[in-house]
Structure 1
């Protein structure tokens, strides 16, 4: 059955995770095809917003609503908190996949992430990140140099 979010996937285990790295292109009309194997997991409607590190975040509606709820409860007395809320919420736009699984990237988000033609879509469990291919390559290169230090910090947190 399809729920109010247009989502018909089963929410159990790895079958629901948004994972992987996919190379795609934006067409002349600023449309980006969501990888076929991820379309059911995203659902027909989703929310795209400014991400961190100059990428875009694409959330299934359920995940977006949960995040927006958490953000709305943060204390706005601190400048950093207000800035993050603005980054995420004011930059958000609801998108709907067309019959070919494409979404339209709004101009302001395309400009924010400096997206050119070649794009990387990275699955990060509950969201997709949309990167300009060159920026993604640089990011991975830099992260790779620090991977041992990052793993050590995650180990201290009990994550790794």
Structure 2
């Protein structure tokens, strides 16, 4: 689990996280954006294991980053799970929904 864009949290299976780590390692250290991405990705990363009921705890640093106080919204996005504060998800989702039709029309198929 680590910090994601738009102040959500990202949960990857370990093998997928390692692929993302390798991709980040292949970017040039001379690129400020690449350094920033790697720092944020790895600085907030914590390995988590579900308990017997399938729940995962969210470390305090990541809860603070995502603004999570109590409830969460969990969404599946291709090869990862994103965890959102409900108010932040509602705000993000409203903006993304407004663009959705245009994005679909412009997607390469």
TM-score, structure 2 normalization: 0.93
Instruction: Decide which structure has greater helix share.
Output: 2
Give the equivalent residue in structure 2 for 1:83. Answer: 36
Deviations along 1:65-92, one digit per CA (max 9) or x if unpaired, are 1111111111110111110111111210
Q: Which of 55, 62, 66 is equivalent to 2:19?
A: 66
Q: Which of 96, 102, 105 is equivalent to 2:58?
A: 105
Instruction: Decide which structure has greater strand share.
Output: 1
- Of structures 1 and 2, the larger Rg is shown by 1
Instruction: Please show how residues 77-156 of structure 1 align to structure 2 within 5 Å.
Output: 77-154=30-107
Give the equivalent residue in structure 2 for 1:14. Answer: none
* Structure 2 unmatched runs, 5+: none
Partner Cα distance (2:58, 2:39) in 1: 19
Partner Cα distance (1:66, 1:57) in 2: 14
Aligned-residue Cα RMSD (Å) equals 1.1
Q: SS of 1:121's equivalent? A: strand
Q: SS of 1:116's equivalent? A: coil
Deviation of 1:152 (Å): 3.3
Deviation of 1:116 (Å): 2.0
